[in-house]
Structure 1
Amino acid sequence: MPQNDRHKEREIPIEFDFYNTLESLPVDNRCTIIMISCGSTTVKINEHIQTVTAPAVLCISQYDNFQCLERTHLSAKVFHFDPWYIKACLNFENLDDSVPIDKQYVYDRNMLYMFTKHHGYFQGIFNLTPQQYIRLNELMLMIGAETYAQSDDYWTCRIRRMLRQALNCIYDIYVDQCKLNFYELSENSNPVTICTDYIHANYRNNISLNFLCELVHLNRTTLNQRFKQQLNCTCIEYLLHYRLKISQELLSNTNLKIDDIANQCGFKYGSYFNRQFTKYLGISPSEFRKNPTGYSVKESRGKP
């Protein structure tokens, strides 16, 4: 709902949430800045699935199809705003380049490209350096504090100024990455890299081959061929080996029960974990725990 101005009888087309769970997004007639401050989340934006780890910022709009698939210790601040809050002449009907507007407002419209021009592997997601995160997070905190405090008649002007500063920071990142052809050439567009990154972040959860195929828009045969070419194993073999690798670390460095380790590593049943561990290492988990330095997953099977 729009923010009610307690100093004047009017509604301001902005909303702020300090602890958003990324549900009910996007919002009609709004651009949305999502600041991921802690943890990670797997999101699906316009059929593209990606795991986002803090610190990061997402820029989406009413044009996007957005779904949060998973959350891990997620903390996110969210700010929604109508384009006309930036400039009164801007609205969703004239944000496209084909619609003529006064030249003096072109830069302001371009600054919203991060929200409106999603395509291919660019879906408005930006990983942040520590310096970028500190600056953007500071601005988001000040915007949120002023949204709730409305300290005087000029509170909306201060928020607008801070919002423009935040948008300028994000736009600079966007322009730099476009100059480097980041979204076309980045290793992040490699289907194998996308799958392995997802596995590393979500190995505890149920992961199917069908899901990974959907993640990178490839069929089973093609995805496994890519894995064989680059990692000398199939997609699911990589997942199994990564889980076994993590299980070895937990067996070596914790006192967790073996069934708990199996569960934490994504094995639904302790008996299946024992069977796979013994198959690939030639020794049971309990025996491995007694002497963890002398064993590793068989090289011939491929390993992450």
Structure 2
Amino acid sequence: MPIGKELNKRTVYDYELELITESLGGWMYIDNRRVDVHQGDILFRQPGQTTQGVMRYNSIWTCFQFAQLESSFTPDYLHTEKRKITERINHPIINQIREKNICGHFDKYFNIFMELFNHHINPQQGSEIYIKSLLLQLTYRLSLQSREDTLMEQQNSNKMCEVGEYIRNNLDKDLSLRTLSEYAMFSPTYFHQQFTQLIGSTPNQYVKQQRLIKAKELLIHTPKTIEDISITCGFKSSAYFCFTFKKELGITPSEFKKGYTKIY
């Protein structure tokens, strides 16, 4: 299908796990939330949700129920066929599985999905038990990964807060990406990605923002000269400070200072 082709929006009636095997910039909507997909991502959808794929990507996926009283194969299963929505299961392992799971070991997960597929279209003695074991293995693995990802995000969030405090307390020092990533003990690429995701701005943008905040504070509340303020806030020169200040705020530091009065 061409890139950007929208599939029909549909209701999710059962639990669904979908492994993205290839993506050329495709995405999907889950309950109207856009979810970009890449090779190796595993999507977990629950009964009652809505979903709509936007090409182009390829995937292999499975639909199942956790509390089916009688085991039976349904080779003519149609995911678009209207029927009763399966009741959701309230269980800590299931509840903590994320909607989108960025998984390593693509081949390992691909093999599990292919085993599910092969035993479904060509059932043998014991295939039902084997399929159930694979589904339980998948949900358990994803639950563990979701828990680990949540813990790592919390640790990264705490680390980024430390970096933010370091920046605010050391505005006059070198605050390059390399310096900050070494302080955080991350690679520059990973640090940039995590900082931007958790703080909401790039490290460079945040440093500039904090330097300008400090500069405005000094302009208002101290008799420091433009030269002294530029040095205190870590700007390369007073000329660069004035250029950056006017570019970001629309007025020069001197004009900003004149807007306030202070008796020293």
Quickly name the TM-score band, shorter chain normalised. Answer: 0.3 to 0.5
TM-score, normalised to structure 2, is 0.38
TM-score, normalised to structure 1, is 0.33
Q: Which is higher, the Rg of structure 1 or of structure 2? A: 2
